[in-house]
Structure formats: C-alpha cells, structure tokens
C-alpha cells in the first residue's frame, strides 16, 4: 500500500517539476512549485521525517511562494524578450 | 523535435538517478550505525529531550545552529540594504472586506499553532525555526491582506529589529553561561541546566530557551525580509482605491 502511495506521489512530483520548469508563464510556474512543495512535504511525512515535513510545508508553500510572487510583481516584463525566446525554442 | 532531442540525455540521467534512489529506499537494510545509533540510544539520558532532531540541533550541534542563525541575519541585512532606497510601482492596497474578516478569524489560531510549535519543540516535531517561520507567515498575510502600512503600524520595523537582535543575544548568553560554568560553549546538562523528567514541558535544560531565541530571530528576520520587499509598493500620496 505504502509503496503504491509513494510511487503515486513520486510520479506527481516529477510531473509538477517538469511543468514548473517548462511553463511559459512565470505565475503558473510559481503555483506549480508550491504544489510540488506540498507533495514533497507529504512524502517526508510518509518517510517518518515530520520535522523536515513541517519545515518544507511552511517554507516552500508559504514563504518561498510569497517571495517569488513579490519578486514577480516588482519586476518589469519584457514582451519582446519573451517572444524572441519562444521562437528560439521552436 | 530538436527541443526534445536536446533534453534526452538530461531526462535519461534523471531517470537513472531516480531508480537508484528508489532502490536505496526500498531494498536497503534498516540498521543504524555510527553517530545515528549513538544519538538514538543516548539522547534521552544525555539531554532529556524526547525530540532527537531538536536535541541534535540545539545541544549536540548547537554551534552550527548559531552559525545558521547568523546566515539568516546576514541575508536579512543584505535584502533590507538592497531595497532601502529604490521605488517600484504600486502593487496593491490589500484585499476585499470578506478576505479581511476571514483572516481576522484565522489569525489567533495561527498564532496559537506557532506558539505551540515553539514551546513544545523539545517534545514533538517542530522547534524554533518552524514556529518562527509560521509567525513570519502571519505577518506576511497581514502585509498581503491588509496592506503593508497596516502591518507596519501594528508591529513596527524597529520592534522586529529589536526582537531579532535580542534573539541572537539570548542564544549567545545561554552559550556563554555554559562557558562560565566551565563545561564549554553551549553545553546543556553539563553546565547545570535541569534535565527534568523525560517528556514533560519543563525538561531538556537549555533547549526550550534556545528554541525561543531562534523563534524570535527567524520570525522577525523573515518578516523583515518580506516587509522590506513590499513596503515601497504603496504610494501614500495616492490614497487607497474606492471600495468595490
């Protein structure tokens, strides 16, 4: 049972990590990263490391997400740079 | 297609590493050896704390924790210095009435939770760092929901500075007490702190004191870090937007 649960969470971890790395929009990237953090916290709790799970849940889904969002709202978005990059990736 | 092909070696490497870790998790033996075995066997008698992680952080490796606290202090100083003079666009004046009332209902429970994490750091999972981070999250919620000027009027940045510095001071003073007793910097039971009975609230000697010091330091530090990033987003001349 636990092996299947761990495998399921690991698969979702990989999925959210890929989405966070490859998403075009920075905002959805940040949100996916916080989902990644919550899943990782569940995994730590399953592996009987509640201290690390607590830290991971608070830091990653609380502090890091809010700091990323503030950094996102304070920086200028350069549209021409983004479109250049999209062309480059194709 | 070129995009996929360029990522193929990296994906293969990740899969191999993942399989390796998975094997290590489920097919390895579960015997502890080295320092881990010593900690599991002797923590209760040597420190009086029932949370082994907390005992390692604040007793066996207390000096490392002081170093980590210094790292956080340096980071906060750097961010506050970097954001001290620049001015960016305005971001917001807080959220709607419903969110404000809702947060008002939640905040006492959040504070209680943070306090329980700190005060029972030597008994249950948690400790000064986690509790301080929850405190910082409460102030960040204040900043987002009510606006940063409200947050500054409730807990002034000066108070946070004092809290952070006094946390560091308490930590160092507890360490120096051990030195004055002749048993080494940050020593716990050896310096005459009472061990108490295992599992009770008043136990583990200096570990609860150090937990409180670290909670003050981390909470005030992370809160200052966020506040110094958002404080300039609001323009006091323009005034708040009309109520929706």
Touching A: B residues 214-233, CB under 8 Å: 222, 225-226, 229-230, 233
Interface pTM, i.e. ipTM: 0.74
Q: How confident is the model at residue B179 (pLDDT cuts 50, 70, 90)?
A: confident
pLDDT in tens, B111-123: 999 999 888 888 8
> Distance, in angstroms, between B119 CA and closest chain A CA?
15
Cβ of B137 and A62 within 8 Å?
yes
pLDDT, mean of residues A60-65: 86
pLDDT value at A62 more than 50: yes
pLDDT value at A82 more than 60: no
**pLDDT on residue B89:** 47
pLDDT value at B240 more than 70: no
Q: How confident is the model at residue B39 (pLDDT cuts 50, 70, 90)?
A: confident
If phi > 0 it is left, if psi is from -120 to 50 it is alpha, else beta; for residue B199 that is: left
Looking up tokens 């200096």 gives B206
Q: Is the dihedral of CA A29, A31, A35, A40 positive or negative?
A: positive
Task: Decide which of A15 and B183 is more confident.
Answer: A15
DSSP 8-state class, residue B243: P
Mean pLDDT of chain A: 81
Ranges A41-50, B63-72, B141-150: which has the least confidence: B141-150
pLDDT, mean of residues B124-145: 86
Touching A: B residues 29-88, CB under 8 Å: 51, 53-54, 88
What percent of chain B has a predicted confidence (pLDDT) above 90? 5
The size of chain B, in residues, is: 244
Q: Which of A6, A53, A59 sits opposite B133 (nearest CB)?
A: A59
pLDDT in tens, A44-57: 998 888 888 988 98
Q: How confident is the model at residue A36 (pLDDT cuts 50, 70, 90)?
A: very high
pLDDT value at A22 more than 70: yes
- Kindly identify which residue of chain B lies nearest to residue A6, measuring between CA atoms: B22
Taking the C-alpha atoms of residue B174 and residue B128, their distance in angstroms, rounded to an integer, is: 15
Q: Which residue in B210, B160, B155 sits closest to B187, CA to CA?
A: B210
> Distance, in angstroms, between A8 CA and closest chain B CA?
13
Backbone angles phi and psi of B87, in degrees to 5: -135, 125
> Distance, in angstroms, between B126 CA and closest chain A CA?
5
A chain contacts of residue B88, beta-carbon cutoff 8 Å: 74
If phi > 0 it is left, if psi is from -120 to 50 it is alpha, else beta; for residue B200 that is: beta
Hey, of B50, B130, B132, B229, which one would you mutate to test binding to chain A, going by the most A CBs within 10 A of its CB? Answer: B130
Hey, of A54, A55, A69, which one would you mutate to test binding to chain B, going by the most B CBs within 10 A of its CB? Answer: A54
Cβ of B3 and A90 within 8 Å?
yes
Q: How confident is the model at residue A61 (pLDDT cuts 50, 70, 90)?
A: confident
Chain centroid to CA A80: 26
Q: How confident is the model at residue B237 (pLDDT cuts 50, 70, 90)?
A: low
pTM over 0.90: no
Mean pLDDT of chain B: 80
B chain contacts of residue A51, beta-carbon cutoff 8 Å: 51, 53-54, 125-127, 130
């Amino acid at each position: 049972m636990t092996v299947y649960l761990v495998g399921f969470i690991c698969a979702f971890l990989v999925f959210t990590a890929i989405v966070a790395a490859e998403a075009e929009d920075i905002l959805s990237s940040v949100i996916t990263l916080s989902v990644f953090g919550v899943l990782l916290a569940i995994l730590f709790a399953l592996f009987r490391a509640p201290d690390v799970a607590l830290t991971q849940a608070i830091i990653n889904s609380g502090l890091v997400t809010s700091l990323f969002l503030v950094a996102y709202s304070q920086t200028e978005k350069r549209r021409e740079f983004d479109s250049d990059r999209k062309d480059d990736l194709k | 297609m070129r995009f996929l092909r360029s990522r193929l070696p990296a994906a293969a490497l990740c899969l191999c590493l993942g399989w390796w870790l998975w094997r290590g998790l489920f097919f390895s033996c579960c015997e502890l050896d080295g320092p881990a075995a010593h900690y599991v066997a002797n923590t209760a008698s040597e420190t009086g704390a029932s949370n082994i992680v907390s005992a390692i952080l604040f007793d066996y490796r207390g000096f490392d924790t002081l170093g980590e606290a210094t790292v956080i202090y340096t980071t906060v100083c750097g961010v506050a210095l970097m954001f001290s003079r620049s001015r960016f666009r305005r971001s917001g004046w807080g959220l709607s009435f419903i969110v404000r009332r809702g947060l008002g209902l939640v905040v006492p429970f959040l504070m209680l939770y943070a306090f329980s994490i700190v005060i029972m750091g030597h008994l249950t999972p948690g400790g000064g760092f986690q509790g301080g981070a929850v405190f910082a999250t409460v102030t960040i919620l204040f900043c987002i929901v009510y606006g940063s000027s409200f947050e500054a009027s409730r807990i002034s940045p000066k108070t946070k500075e004092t809290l952070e510095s006094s946390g560091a001071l308490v930590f160092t003073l507890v360490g120096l007490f051990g030195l004055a007793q002749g048993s080494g910097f940050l020593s716990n039971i050896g310096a005459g702190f009472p061990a108490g009975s295992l599992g009770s609230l008043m136990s583990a000697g200096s570990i609860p004191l150090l937990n409180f010091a670290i909670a003050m330091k981390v909470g005030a530090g992370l809160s200052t870090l966020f506040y110094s990033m958002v404080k300039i987003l609001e323009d006091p001349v323009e005034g708040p937007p009309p109520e929706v």
